[in-house]
Amino acid sequence: MKKERLTLAFFIDALGWRISREFRCFEELAPHAYRQRTILGYSCAAQPTILTGLPPSGHGHWAMFERSGRSELAPLVRFSVLPDTVGRHRRFRRRLLQWHRRRSGFTGYYNFYRIPFRLFREFDISEKRDIYAPGGFDGAVESIFDILERRGVPYRVWNWKTDLDTALGELSECLTGGAPVRFALLYTAVMDALLHEHVGDVDVVGAALEELEKKLSRVVELARGAYSEVDVLIFSDHGMARTTAEIDLMAAVDSLGLAPKRDYLAFYDSTMGRFWFESERVREEITKKLRAIECGRVLTDDDLRREGVWFDDRRYGELVFLMNPGTLVVPSYMGASAPRGMHGFTPEHEDSDAAIMSSKPLEPEPSTIADTFGAMVRSAGLEGAARGRPGGADG
């Protein structure tokens, strides 16, 4: 006898609206496709929004690194004595990260990239706990996993810690044997990694999407054989823009001759610079310098509020300088060279848009990535279960 109902949610990082339409992917599995506005920021902001239905100012996660008076990364400052050839070496950084993950007990996603070690006294990780598990967020913020857990709904989830084929194998086993589940979410970063290097390369991207579609189709077929009703949701967090220009933002700010730390602090992400100032004079000087740079713009407080990334304590920056779509900060604390594609530009740009595709029409029609939360909640039969949301809505 078949099991009852199942929601299969496939979270495909960076499978933007534009690429999903260009390649007409997943049309058989999930023919109902909706364009979604993403949020300003990177996956570390967008994924929490999808899992909670809240903007970054609501769930608390915006950038991977936040200003902190008592950073738990402070012990790493001792590595700043290492010469750059060692301290910035990929293998060293990778080993350090593995060691740090074991030692710190942090289960969230983070990476040290090329961040200068001296900055770890001032900057801490915003995602310390696994957001793909209950209890991933601070305070009263609930993710879909908190709700599933609280309602006692059987579910499974695979996040970035499991590679795609292993996750699909485990999901297949779960579908055919074992106890029934009501909801399964599988996250994969395979398209994100591929698109960073190959966006615009029709053959490579097309072949990768075709392979992914085949893999997902096999799993859905298994699910349909085992469950009498299967909802398929395939969605992303953002798109990918082609890199068209680079700017050495660090050099531009350094040219002012100000003293980092004494005068200001800066964090250079791949598409934005975030600044904190020690005096009004320095704020004015840096702001003036940034305003003269044509390939980006200083975001106003209104911009930040409108995008849902306003934080009263300014832990993610007192001033944010955002590059125009296609222009990368190089070098940045994220990398020494520019990949072929990047995300993290204004959500207004069409390459930033994410997508959600569904086997059934979605009601109400999703228009932002925050609406993915509601789509998952409704499909899993959890309506009315989300706590403390305006008007009792589920997202």
Which is closer to Zn ion, CB of 192 or CB of 231? 192
Which is closer to Zn ion, CB of 192 or CB of 351? 192
Which is closer to Zn ion, CB of 195 or CB of 357? 195
Which is closer to Zn ion, CB of 239 or CB of 374? 239
Closest distance between Zn ion and the C-beta of residue 202, in Å?
Answer: 20
Which is closer to Zn ion, CB of 341 or CB of 395? 341
Q: Spell out the SS3 assignment of the chain.
A: CCEEEEEEEEEECCCCHHHHHHCCCCCCCCCEEEEEECCCCCHHHHHHHHHHCCCHHHHCCCCCEEECCCCCCHHHHHHHHCCHHHHCCHHHHHHHHHHHHHHHCCCCCCCCCCCCHHHHHCEEECCCCCCCCCCCCCCCCCCHHHHHHHHCCCEEEECCCCCHHHHHHHHHHHHHCCCCCCEEEEEECHHHHHHHHHCCCHHHHHHHHHHHHHHHHHHHHHHHHHEEEEEEEEECCCCCEECCEEECHHHHHHCCCCCECCCEEEEECCCEEEEEECCHHHHHHHHHHHHCCCCEEECCHHHHHHCCCCCCCCCCCCEEEEECCCEEECCCCCCCCCCCEECCCCCCCHHHCEEEEECCCCCCCCCECCHHHHHHHHHCCCCCCCCCCHHHCCC
Rounded Cα gap, residues 2 and 4, in angstroms: 6
**Interface with Zn ion by CB under 5 A: which range of 123-131, 190-198, 290-298, 300-308?**
190-198
Which is closer to Zn ion, CB of 47 or CB of 358? 47
**Interface with Zn ion by CB under 5 A: which range of 94-102, 192-200, 229-237, 272-280?**
192-200
Closest distance between Zn ion and the C-beta of residue 342, in Å?
Answer: 7
Rounded Cα gap, residues 17 and 394, in angstroms: 24
Residue nearest to Zn ion (CB): 192
Instruction: Using alpha carbons, select from 361, 391, 381 the residue that is nearest to residue 30.
Output: 361
Closest distance between Zn ion and the C-beta of residue 300, in Å?
Answer: 26
Per CB under 5 A, the list member of 122, 124, 192, 237 interacting with Zn ion is: 192
Positions 258 through 317 that interact with Zn ion (CB under 5 A):
none
Which is closer to Zn ion, CB of 41 or CB of 308? 41
Closest distance between Zn ion and the C-beta of residue 46, in Å?
Answer: 10
**Interface with Zn ion by CB under 5 A: which range of 94-102, 138-146, 184-192, 272-280?**
184-192
Which is closer to Zn ion, CB of 195 or CB of 309? 195
Rounded Cα gap, residues 179 and 291, in angstroms: 59
Closest distance between Zn ion and the C-beta of residue 177, in Å?
Answer: 35
Q: Please state whether the peptide bond connecting residue 364 to the residue before it is cis, i.e. omega within 30 degrees of 0.
A: yes
**Interface with Zn ion by CB under 5 A: which range of 82-90, 186-194, 317-325, 344-352?**
186-194
Which is closer to Zn ion, CB of 195 or CB of 286? 195
HSE value, Cβ hemisphere, 13 Å, CA-based, for 304 = 21
Positions 16 through 45 that interact with Zn ion (CB under 5 A):
none
**Interface with Zn ion by CB under 5 A: which range of 116-124, 191-199, 228-236, 344-352?**
191-199
Closest distance between Zn ion and the C-beta of residue 14, in Å?
Answer: 5
Count of residues in contact with Zn ion, rule CB under 5 A:
1
Closest distance between Zn ion and the C-beta of residue 196, in Å?
Answer: 6
**Interface with Zn ion by CB under 5 A: which range of 32-40, 55-63, 136-144, 187-195?**
187-195
Closest distance between Zn ion and the C-beta of residue 29, in Å?
Answer: 23
Residue 237 binds to Zn ion (criterion: CB under 5 A): no
Closest distance between Zn ion and the C-beta of residue 318, in Å?
Answer: 26
Residues near Zn ion (CB under 5 A) are 192
